[in-house]
Each structure stands twice: as C-alpha cells, then as structure tokens.
Amino acid sequence: MPSEYKGIHNNTAPQWWRDPSLRRNVVWVALCALCTVYGGFDGSLFGGLQAVPKWFEQFPALKNPDTLGLINACGAFPNLIMPLVGSWMGDRFGRRLPNIIAVIGVIAFAIMQAFSNTLGMWAAARVLITTFSALSAPTGPALLVELAHPRYRSTASALNMSGWYVGSIIGGWAGYGAYMNYRDSHWSWRLPCLIQFVIPTFVLVGFILIPESPRWLISKGRIEEARKVLAREHANGDENDPLVNFEMDEIQQALVEEKAINSTAGSWFSLFKTPGNRKRLFIMLHVVIGAQWCGNGVIGYYFVPVLKSVGITSASQQLLLNSGMNIWNLFLAGGAALTIERFGRRPLFLASTTGMLISMVVITGCSAAFSKTGNSSAGIAVVAFLFLFNGSYDIAMTPMNVAYNVEIFPFAIRSKGMGVWQVTQAVFIIYNSYVNPIALSKIHYWYYLVYVGILIYLTIIIYLFFPETKGLTLEEVAVKFDGPQMGELMHAQEKSEVDHVDDAASEDGKESPAKR
C-alpha cells in the first residue's frame, strides 16, 4: 500500500483472495485491463494471417508488400484521434460509457471482418475495429486506477499493458488452431477473425455491471454515490471505514487543487515554457522510441516474413512460433511489472536496450549467414535471438511506457503530456506499419541495421538523461527536472493545504484527514 495510506485501519483481509470486497474489486480491475486485449489480438491476428495461404487466396492484392503495409498502417490512423475523443467522453459522461461503446463496435466489426468477401470490406472492418478499441484506450486504464484498492493499485497499473499479450496469445492460438483444423478452407482465416468478438462480449457484460469511477462521481457532485462505491469496493460496505473517509477527503481535496492548477496552467504551450518541461518532453519522446521504434515493429507485425527469410516456411511452424512468442512475452512483461520497485527504472531501461541491441546484432549476422550459406543452424539462432529480443523489450518497454511518463509529468501538465504521448505513439506505429514490410521486401535483413543504430543511440540517451524515480515522491521527482526551488514550492503548497484542512477540521470538531 502507498505510504500515505499506511497505518490507516481498513475493513478488509490482508490478502485479497480471502476478502469478498477485494475479490470483487480484482474482478473489476481485471475487466478494465482487458481493454488492452483488443490491440494485442489484432496485432497477433494480422501477423498470423500472413502464414495462411487461404487468406492471400481470398485477397491476392495483399501479396504486394506496399498494399500489406498500407492496410496495416490504416489500422493505426484512428489512434491519432480516438483516444482524445475517448478522454473527452470519459470526463463528460463517465468512464463506463466509452468502454461500452468501444466493445459494441469491436463486436460488430469483428463479425463483419470474418465474413468479408472483398479486401475493401475486410480493411474497412479492421480500421473500424481499431477505431472503437482506441476509444477505450484512455478510459479503461483510468477506471482501473480509480477503482483499484490502494493496496495493489500500482501493481495493477504496471500489469495493465500485459493485457496486450493476453490478446496476442488468444489471437495466436486461435490462428494456429483454425489453420490446423481448416487449412484447406477459408475458415482457416475467417474463424480467427470471428473469435475476435468473444472477449469483447464478456467485457460488454462486465462494463454494464461495473461501478462508475468514484473520482468521476465526486467531480460531478454525486458524493454519496461515490462513498457507496468506495465502501463496497474497498471496505466491504462500511461507509464509515477510516480508509473510505481518507479517500473521500483526498479525492475532494485533489479535485479542488486540480481546478486551481488548471485555471492557471495555460495552453499547450506550457509544455515548452520551462527547461524542466522541455526535458520531460524529450524523455517522453525517447520512451516512445524505445517502445515503438526499436525493431519490435518488424518482429511483431511482420514475424512471419522474418521467419520465412531464415527458411521457416511451414505455416504450422510459423503459427506455432508466433503463439509461443506471445506466451513468452506475457510471462516476462508480467514478471517485470512486479519487480519495477525492486530494481528501479534506469537499470531496467538500460538492461532492456542493451539486450535488444545484442540480440539485433546477432539476428542481423545470422540472417546474413543463412542467406549466403543456407546453414540451418544460423536460422535456428535467429529464432532463438528473436525470443531474446522480445524478452529484453518486455522487461522495460511494456510496463514503463505508460508508468514512467506518468511519473515524470507533474499534475498540472500530466494530461497534456500524456495526450502528446498518445499521438506520438500513433505516428511511430503508422511508420512501422507501412514502411517495415516494404523495407523488408527490398533490402531484407540489412534493414535490421537501422534498428541497431537506433538502439545504440537510445542506450546513450537513457544513460545520460533518464533520471531514476524509484521510491521518490512527486516533490522529489519535480526537483530532478526543475531544481530545488520547485521542491520547496511544492512542499510549501502541500503544507499550506494541510494546515487549511486542519483548521477547517478543527472548526467542525473533527480530526483532519491528513492526521487520520
């Protein structure tokens, strides 16, 4: 539990699995994490379909790398706009509604995609699936954080992106099973597309039942509703539980502070006004480079062409390796999320980029050796180091792509900073989707050298400029970027707010929430 909650009595068992309130809360948290499953399923599905001959037979234009890249890139364009729409809807109508609309759209267009007979229809369905899934991108994680019990909120947040790999595993094994059972039928590609609606159907039922965010309810003046939600989710229904009282006070104070800060935060230009904020944007950009432009775009969406380039041409082997890769990713990403506080941010970032760099160098060399000699050992080495590359990626880029950026942006510009983060990610994803298949088809393994150069550059930038934030308060993180004067300012502001609360509580004859 975060330090600010330690010592506060709470009407729950120490272990969540022994407490009915926390068991229910974990179900809701897991449901919110499933919002990332759609993207993982789509990525794994698109990669796996490239190993299915009947898919190319139905849509022969996809044999052209330019067309394949264009179709893939089109699926990323909604991420330039829809997360911002989802964020606006989440603030205006609540966290649940955007997610309900998102899953309805994914269900409808997954069915459309499965029964498409033309490439235009299939591509339109895919774009609409990504459009609706992007709608839930900001509100799913927001509801997760705002509903989760403080005892495991940070772990749940770090594990959130692991849902991507859950979707990848389902998509990968769905493709493998469909091919093995229907390899001579168009159901070898239609069935995996159809299965895409299954998880969203469960999510839809869950989001109809899930409680609304207590923070959103309080922001709309629905105080008693919020108290009931917190009591039910965090204290087995006890509305006078000390933790529930503390959270209610904390949320209300935070909302008052948020309004005061936002009224003077200024425009988007505030992101560039100070050296500290410019450094934050610089670091955010390089976190995105690490997450989206380190070579994972080739190995993820175009895993099958990479396997073909080293002699693995059997569709069943390609699909099996694709599915096995997803399980490997989930295992390492989940483990890394549980150890972030133990090892720290910088060591994990540096281990990640160094591991990817070494793996990419070996992949390039072995791919060249296989191309020239046809040596099967070189091809096997490429497959092994593809797994090591992804494992290196998973230990930092999966859990910290969101978590680190949230930490380094101060409250006043956090939403603006994360908005820029989402758009920047989309730009890199579009590049990966369109350029990678063309480059692979033209220059083959030599294209990997581009990412070798990027990984060398990224490792140097992380070593020189990324601060360690393990165990730091927000005040101490601000000092890292803005100097000691900012820490003093934040400390004075915090003390003033606590004194104000103490005075108000004394007038009412109550103990202040800060001392509870």
Q: Same structural domain for residues 134 and 53?
A: yes
pLDDT tens sequence across 399-420: 888 778 777 876 566 667 777 8
Q: pTM value?
A: 0.74
Are 424 and 288 found together in one domain?
yes
Q: Which of 441, 463, 485 is the last residue in one of the domains?
A: 463
- Residue 439, in any domain of the structure: yes
Question: Which are the contacts of 206, defined by CB distance < 8 A and separation ≥ 6?
Answer: 27, 28, 31, 34
Q: What is the pLDDT of residues 78-91, one digit of tens each?
A: 888 888 788 788 88
Q: How confident is the model at residue 490 (pLDDT cuts 50, 70, 90)?
A: very low
Q: Encode pLDDT of 333-382 as tens digits.
A: 888 888 877 888 899 999 999 999 999 999 888 888 877 777 778 778 88
DSSP state of 412: G
Lowest mean pLDDT among 26-35, 218-227, 429-438, 450-459: 429-438
Rounded average pLDDT over 234-260: 83
Residue 93 lies in a domain: yes
Q: What is the CATH number of the domain that holds 323?
A: 1.20.1250.20
Same-domain pairing of 167 and 19: yes
Q: pLDDT by residue (tens digit) across 451-479? A: 999 999 999 999 999 998 876 655 567 67
Same-domain pairing of 76 and 149: yes
45 lies in which domain range? 13-210
Number of structural domains (the chain) is: 2
Which comes out higher in pLDDT, residue 7 or 140? 140
Q: How far apart, in Å, are the Cα atoms of 348 and each of 339, 341, 360?
A: 10, 11, 18
The domain boundary residue, chosen from 193, 210, 227:
210
Q: Exposure string (b/e) for 214-224, b if CB count within 10 Å is 16 or more?
A: bbbbbbeeeee
Find the range with the poorest average confidence among 30-34, 299-303, 388-392: 299-303
Task: Say if 283 falls within a structural domain.
Answer: yes
- Which stretch of 185-194, 202-211, 407-416, 425-434 has the lowest confidence by average pLDDT? 407-416
In the numeric block, the tokens 């490439």 are attached to 119
Check if the beta carbon of residue 130 is closer than 8 Å to that of residue 429.
Answer: no
The answer to the question of residue 509 being in a domain is: no
Phi, psi of 140 (to 5 degrees): -65, -55
Is position 498 within any domain?
A: no
Tokens 């067309």 -> residue: 67
Q: What angle (nearest 5°) sits at the alpha carbon of residue 367, between those of residues 363 and 372? A: 155
Same domain for 278 and 200, yes or no, is: no
> Do 197 and 322 belong together in one domain?
no
- Tokens at 224, concatenated: 């008693």
Mean of all residue pLDDT scores within the chain:
81
- Of 189, 210, 231, the one marking the end of a domain is 210
pLDDT at 232: 95
Determine the average pLDDT of the residues in 68-73: 78
25 confidence band (pLDDT: 50, 70, 90) = very high
Q: With cut-offs at 50, 70 and 90, classify the pLDDT of residue 6.
A: low
Greater model confidence, 165 or 260: 165
